Every structure is written in C-alpha cells, then in structure tokens.
C-alpha cells in the first residue's frame, strides 16, 4: 500500500506543478511581471535597422536581420528618402523598451562590423523586423543571396506594403525610391 500511496502522491504533485505552470502562462499580466533572462533593455536606437541593447553587462550593437531602412548616418551618403522617418519609427517602437532577441544560424551571429545579427521581438508576438517592412519603413534585405528563417514572410510583407503604398512606397513620399 505504501508504494501505491507514494505513486499517487507523486502524480498529484506533478499535476499540481503542471496546473500552476499552465495557469501562469495563461495570465498575460503575470507573464509581464516575471523577469525573463532573455529580455534586454534597449539603450539606444542607432538608426532604423540598428539598435543597442544592454546584454551580459555591456552595451551591444544589434543589426536587425532581413531588413534595410533608408540611411541616415552613413558618412559616405546623403540622408536617404524616408530615412529620418524610419529612424524615428524605430525609436518610437523601441526606445527604453525591453526586447527579446532571436539569432538565426542560417545567417550567423555577427556581421563584418561585429554587430549581433538578430530578430528583435517586443512583447510576446511583435517582430520588429517584420513590423518595419509591413509599414513601409524598411525593404526586405537578403544579404548575398543567403536565405534566412523569416525570408518568405518578409518578402510577402514587402509586396503587400508596396501594393498598398505604405511608408516610402507611397507616391507622396519616395515612391519606393529611397536611394
């Protein structure tokens, strides 16, 4: 009888743990209060497709994978059409926020400038890289014909933004000509 009682007790204990975990996951307000080790404070928005986060005790520059916003800081180029708007939009979305980052083994971890290459998530479901393309602040960007995880979705989002004349695709702004 003792072995059976212990097994039953263990089953109830495991069910209790599972039930508690499921309850917490189903409560968005509880999830927001739980500290997550994979959330990082945005320290600065450098431009539309580059940010700085505080990670592992230091500031780290992050280049968003799969997007290219019009330039605002390249000393070799003039500020491109809709560059300031794209930068301001990214600042509005991310300045002072906590974000999650997702790297992509297909792309690699760093670019030639030693920036961390990542998808940037705000909250549980807002992929900033995709949001920039969806709203016409960024082009889909494939580096050297290299595939990446969300490539088809990003290309589809660009097509939709273009068809709907959003952001720099609008004839009233750049008509898609940002360079």
- Within a 13 Å sphere around the CA of 78, how many CA atoms are in the beta-carbon half? 5
| CB-based burial, 109-141: b 16+ in 10 Å, e otherwise | eeeeeebbbbbbbbeeeebbbbbbbbbbbbbbb
- Residue 164 CA to residue 129 CA, distance in Å, equals 19
Is 144 an active-site residue?
no
Tell me which of 39, 52, 60, 71 is the catalytic residue: 71
Check the CA dihedral 38-43-45-50 and report its sign: negative
Tell me which of 60, 85, 115, 158 is the catalytic residue: 115
Is 115 an active-site residue?
yes
Is 63 an active-site residue?
yes
Q: Catalytic residue numbers?
A: 63, 71, 115
């Amino acid at each position: 009888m003792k072995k059976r009682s212990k097994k039953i007790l263990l089953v109830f204990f495991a069910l209790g743990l599972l039930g508690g975990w499921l309850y917490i996951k189903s409560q968005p307000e509880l999830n927001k209060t739980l500290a997550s080790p994979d959330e990082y404070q945005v320290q600065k928005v450098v431009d539309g497709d580059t940010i700085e986060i505080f990670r592992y005790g230091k500031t780290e520059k992050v280049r968003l994978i799969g997007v290219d916003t019009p330039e605002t800081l390249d000393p070799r180029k003039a500020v491109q059409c809709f560059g300031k708007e794209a930068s301001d939009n990214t600042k509005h979305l991310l300045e002072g926020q906590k974000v999650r980052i997702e790297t992509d083994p297909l792309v690699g971890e760093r670019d030639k400038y030693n920036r961390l290459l990542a998808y940037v998530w705000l909250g549980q479901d807002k992929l900033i890289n995709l949001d920039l393309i969806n709203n016409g602040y960024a082009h889909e960007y494939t580096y050297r014909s290299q595939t990446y995880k969300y490539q088809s979705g990003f290309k589809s989002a660009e097509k939709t933004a273009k068809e709907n004349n959003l952001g720099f695709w609008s004839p009233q702004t750049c008509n898609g000509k940002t360079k």
